[in-house]
Structure 1
């Protein structure tokens, strides 16, 4: 319902709109916004992770929150997580977790085999639209480094800064202490879609010639993969684009348009052609006469005032320099002859919004305050040729970004975003019982939640205590994400890291990134045919590779309980969420019930996997600005005391009469399905010269050659149970996992524990006094640590931090 404003001279009367038969009224506004909400549900998803720099043997601990969830939030009962390589956009890890009452938590284990580099952590729920796009999605960057001792180092640097004879040259150097001359690194490098592989000598240089035509991409990058002695390293080098360096300038008249002979407020933005904000100065001209000097700040935004003349042309001249080879002019949009000017002295306000309007003629208008969650006020007003200021009370306005829309007979003629009730909401105060601790010390953390009046608030939150060097500077907390990024999209980083808590920064983002962000036309033209559906795991059973003629029963093993499902007569079936619930990380097995299940095959279709893949392949490499002109593999190694190695000598002795270390020799030949192992325990390795029948319920390894000669390769464990042909009637699928307990530092005083995450706890609830106390122990890393709290309440989202040191 619309919340009427108690303002003198405001009349909530029906106002004539698009035709003689259509009346704009409060009920009409309500109905249109409700339709818009149904077709564009606003249920933002936020993921709190313990840190965002990991090693390739750690766990990612997380909590997920569906914020502002409506009454349909119970339909969001699965959280889908995926990790995608930022270079290849390929998903390398994917798992599903329970979501109850709009909250989920758990952990993802990073395998040792994951290469260091930049990754996207993708979170979605199981609700999608008719185009199979998620209604709730969150993507954040994580960095994975290695603590594995490497046998070699690799580095690459650009030799040339410009094209010479049609080429640009880069130099790759690989250094190793290995003395075996037979070991040669295999180098694979890629620019765009062009891939080249070469063997090179160690401790020597490889010259890479990059064609000029390979530099036509918007953001060209040389991607290098080096394989040596069963180890892999990745290097990325930023390449100079053939495109001439330039500056992109945009102008944002407040309200939408410049109007001649009226005072206009204008924001402007400057970015490089790589979309990096820059601070520049320029000279403002009217018909080749300089009238002002203006500049942008560190995140590329500036503001100025102008009263344009109808017959004059206005442009900004930026002088040549780092980004421009020549002086460049950027023209302002032409001024309209009719219209009116809208101005908010402050767009970030608390309880009162002040706006001034002036027109070239007296004109009745309608003023609407709304956002994608609903409408707050709708009233009519007379705009005159004299500037008038209106004060609008916002006492009952929910905190957040709202749109002020000016309508002329129902047609929007100006819009301006503002942030209302800025200082309201929940405040999180975090205190520790000391600022300095010893190793293996006890720490007590007190979290206190209050509202803007100092009254206690009951909230639900997750808390982490992590080593500060495991956090990058671009971490976005739940408040910044929900109130800014979710509403305005990707934003330049605020220099001090305050973001939402810097009102000047918020104002600049509203004027530029939020310029005409929402339009009343979108509300009026909402697609009421949009339908939403849950993702459902399905499958099909065949016999002899043909459809079934009668239904059969399947058993699902490994979950919280043994469950059974019956297929349709053609063999198709679906698997409910309840049947997929399993212990954390445990795979489920689906089998054809009965003793005689030979000849059946089971195919599984998990739409969550396809969703992850589609999202990942459409992601741009937004971390491009951090890629340098030279890079070294050492950059991918974790530095600091936490990089501790506990190495010991391992001696393996053959104990069987055959002398085989692995004792995999058995009866010569293959089993009934053709399965075999070789002397080294490689299962079904096609190049094996001697083959033996595998033993049921035995661990073997799958070998994958990385060179044509097979002189180096990778292996992964494989548990052999029965004939692989018979196993076609058995399939595995990832379950839906519940929360796993984080144990932290244990109480064994003699055990050295290098933990960068000392504390992770999800689902913590404050008491009636708004307080919660959490205890944990420090480990054996002497460094600076940070405590981070992220959470939700019935009133607001909240976050807070504090720090301490371990000596």
Structure 2
């Protein structure tokens, strides 16, 4: 049967009629009830070390009628996954949908899995309107205080009732420890504390527990003041699999051929590749299978009153027989062989009878196609032009004359995986400390701004990968998208085809869309604030404004309270440069009679989000059997001097915020190579205090004198101000004695691309050898950009 082309005539009908249709109005209402926008944050990498700086650029995307000016502050919280503890929160200026910033990972933070949680200050119904989560791993670049490992004694046995686990702990040079190590471990409902023996070992007998959401045994080791963590998944016998069937149109229909996608995962939502047998009334009729993504498909002609089941061929799984959904007696089926298409969608409609239907193409925000269609035959082939449909995931819904859905299918319109931005380096192999020239060409792009990271390749873990294309068009639209083992889901067309078959639209449904009411568009909006209150120490009320002064950077600012002593710290003139602690003082001769309270709503919001957003991320086997796995190799780290703690007896109220004993009252220091606040010498004993009026490497001008106040002065309070970003320090590493073990060798937070000519950037390789990756992410007129480029760094003398 020849193709029936829905083309210009139908398009004319559609756009004339759809503006008045009830369905189009309901979909438009859904767009008002659930306005679409999202936040994406480009972090320079996703594997960090202690005392390392995180660089980022945040983009607010898909704005539409969205008010960018309502989002003025971006908060970024570092959250530990194991217990959702908040390590630190920093806040940054947001303007015109962009925010730039830097976060210093504390030296004391334990290695392991973390999240960087970003959100803006605008609240809708009490929750930040824009939220973004980036999983990261923190390793260490210093020698471990002790070595520890965990392993199973016996081979996995499904029939055994216990797992025997051996924990071994030694010094970093594999000698016995002088004292036993305290071992806290948790597995399912079991939680105990024990100690290692004289040889540093502990043998645990762990009873198996079935169907655990978290399959890992979590171990915390503590020796004197040092701690470390281990975690491995334990065999739990036969486990239950999650098996789901997805008839392509939503339902099986008797006597109509359907394509059925199916998915098999474990309790942690990890895919399972296996074979299975398809049965009809207990008789095998086909052999089917899932791939490495846990996804498969098969064709089925359902017979009336027949029962179809699938039996899994896997001895490690229990409850291996699963029943397909019952077929409808009458209905309509959609078949789309290729759902990821450029400009035309081809589909086949199969029907059990003669009925009038409506074909609607929409994205639950806007209806693009809305036409009546007579299915007078059992099968009809159609082609739908997608010229006027925006790029991204859309839905084709077939309804009856009463607008009840009969069939539905997702597809991706205007897909294009061709590179619109080319990135090329002048060579593919470089020596250590060699100049690199990077050229970006974007002739087809207009109004483009990008952030650029050049990082060591092993600092980009695939399990944590996030790119702006995949996030904008896929992850933000569908839920529970598993990594595909590659850097970009968007560019993997085959994987995208498969997830469109099984994931479905998770944000909205047709029924929910029709249940929306105009009153649902009414929402309460608010903003997160940093406010304060001045009180008298004698508890008498304040009746006139109080004058306050801020210190901490090279500017002195005045803050005036209301007559009741209330003040606001969200004002633009209180934004300070990165890395400076801010202090607020009562500016009065009798300032000891006053006390200051700060109410930072971001602290409370971060706590709530850490418990509601990060804690709901599915648990995966961590497989950290040896704590040295979280230590960087010797050729990736510099030799660090051991930090010396010096107790002060003077009355300085500022302590050494980041520079150790050599820092001044504001936390500023100069390393032995004359670099101000050198990121490679945090807390080194060779640091000295900067001198006012002297210009140092890494500074923007002469150093400004740091103010100092007495420790017993009670009329001040420290507060976390809103920050500007810190410029990335570009070094040519001319000093041969200065170690240069930097995994991020270039970062540019906002480069505006020139459409008429190439954009040329230069930087230098560091002392780290191996593969490096250039990652470019950003926005252009109506779209997003993502590009990669690789090169290698070898030791001097090894490059031909």
Q: What interval of TM-score do these two structures reach, taking the shorter chain for normalisation?
A: 0.7 to 0.9
Q: Does 1:519 align with 2:513?
A: no
Out of 443, 448, 463, the residue aligned to residue 436 of structure 2 is 443
**Equivalences for residues 186-205 of structure 1 within 5 A:** 186-191=182-187, 196-198=192-194, 200=196, 203-205=199-201
Moved more, 784-793 or 455-464: 455-464
Instruction: Give deviations 1:371-415, integer Å, cap 9, x for gaps.
Output: 144232222212234211221111122110011122222233322
Q: Does 1:260 align with 2:254?
A: yes
Gaps of 5+ in 1: 16-23, 653-660, 683-695, 700-718
Out of 732, 735, 738, the residue aligned to residue 721 of structure 2 is 735
Out of 80, 84, 88, the residue aligned to residue 89 of structure 1 is 84
Distance 1:444 1:164 in 2: 60
Tell me the CA shift for residue 184 of structure 1.
4.6
Q: Which residue of 1 aligns with 2:375?
A: 383
Q: Does 1:369 align with 2:365?
A: no
Distance 1:548 1:209 in 2: 64
Distance 2:111 2:630 in 1: 6
User: Residues 44 and 640 (structure 1 numbering): CA distance in 2 closer, same or farther, change over 3 Å?
Assistant: farther
Q: Which residue of 1 aligns with 2:748?
A: 761
Aligned residues: 731
Q: Which residue of 1 aligns with 2:684?
A: none
Out of 8, 24, 37, the residue aligned to residue 6 of structure 1 is 8
User: Residues 496 and 192 (structure 1 numbering): CA distance in 2 closer, same or farther, change over 3 Å?
Assistant: closer
- Contact 1:87–1:621 (CA<8 Å) still a contact in 2? no
SS at match of 1:625: coil
Distance 1:253 1:481 in 2: 26
Gaps of 5+ in 2: 1-5, 657-663, 668-706, 795-800
Out of 105, 109, 132, the residue aligned to residue 110 of structure 1 is 105
Q: Does 1:772 align with 2:759?
A: yes
RMSD (Å) for aligned C-alpha atoms: 3.4
User: Residues 343 and 749 (structure 1 numbering): CA distance in 2 closer, same or farther, change over 3 Å?
Assistant: same
Distance 1:58 1:254 in 2: 48
Tell me the CA shift for residue 192 of structure 1.
5.4
Distance 2:37 2:232 in 1: 38
SS at match of 2:30: helix
Q: Does 1:506 align with 2:496?
A: yes
Distance 2:643 2:584 in 1: 42
SS at match of 1:7: helix
Instruction: Give deviations 1:185-222, integer Å, cap 9, x for gaps.
Output: 34333445765445545632123454667x77421433
Instruction: Give deviations 1:326-360, integer Å, cap 9, x for gaps.
Output: 7x211100111122112223211111112222322
Tell me the CA shift for residue 421 of structure 1.
0.3
SS at match of 1:557: strand
Distance 1:13 1:206 in 2: 72
SS at match of 1:641: helix
Q: Which residue of 1 aligns with 2:481?
A: 491
User: Residues 545 and 368 (structure 1 numbering): CA distance in 2 closer, same or farther, change over 3 Å?
Assistant: farther
- Contact 1:253–1:265 (CA<8 Å) still a contact in 2? yes
Tell me the CA shift for residue 806 of structure 1.
1.6
Out of 332, 348, 364, the residue aligned to residue 340 of structure 1 is 332
SS at match of 1:773: strand
User: Residues 771 and 178 (structure 1 numbering): CA distance in 2 closer, same or farther, change over 3 Å?
Assistant: closer
Distance 1:82 1:378 in 2: 45
Q: Which residue of 1 aligns with 2:461?
A: 472
Tell me the CA shift for residue 28 of structure 1.
4.7
User: Residues 33 and 311 (structure 1 numbering): CA distance in 2 closer, same or farther, change over 3 Å?
Assistant: closer
Instruction: Give the structure-1-normalised TM-score.
Output: 0.83
SS at match of 1:419: strand
Q: Which residue of 1 aligns with 2:134?
A: 140
- Contact 2:212–2:267 (CA<8 Å) still a contact in 1? no
Q: Which residue of 1 aligns with 2:202?
A: 206
Distance 1:312 1:226 in 2: 58
Out of 422, 426, 434, the residue aligned to residue 429 of structure 1 is 422
User: Residues 407 and 623 (structure 1 numbering): CA distance in 2 closer, same or farther, change over 3 Å?
Assistant: closer
- Contact 1:460–1:764 (CA<8 Å) still a contact in 2? yes
- Contact 1:270–1:301 (CA<8 Å) still a contact in 2? yes
Tell me the CA shift for residue 791 of structure 1.
1.0
Distance 1:342 1:567 in 2: 66
**Equivalences for residues 612-627 of structure 1 within 5 A:** 612-618=606-612, 619-620=614-615, 622=617, 624-627=619-622
User: Residues 421 and 218 (structure 1 numbering): CA distance in 2 closer, same or farther, change over 3 Å?
Assistant: same
Distance 2:544 2:207 in 1: 60
Q: Which residue of 1 aligns with 2:234?
A: 239
Distance 1:611 1:154 in 2: 37
Tell me the CA shift for residue 493 of structure 1.
2.2
Distance 2:304 2:507 in 1: 27
Out of 29, 39, 64, the residue aligned to residue 33 of structure 2 is 39
**Equivalences for residues 561-600 of structure 1 within 5 A:** 562-568=556-562, 570-600=564-594
Tell me the CA shift for residue 11 of structure 1.
3.5
- Contact 1:642–1:754 (CA<8 Å) still a contact in 2? yes
SS at match of 2:591: coil
- Contact 1:426–1:449 (CA<8 Å) still a contact in 2? no
User: Residues 35 and 347 (structure 1 numbering): CA distance in 2 closer, same or farther, change over 3 Å?
Assistant: same
Out of 509, 512, 527, the residue aligned to residue 534 of structure 1 is 527
Distance 1:117 1:597 in 2: 45
Instruction: Give the structure-2-normalised TM-score.
Output: 0.84
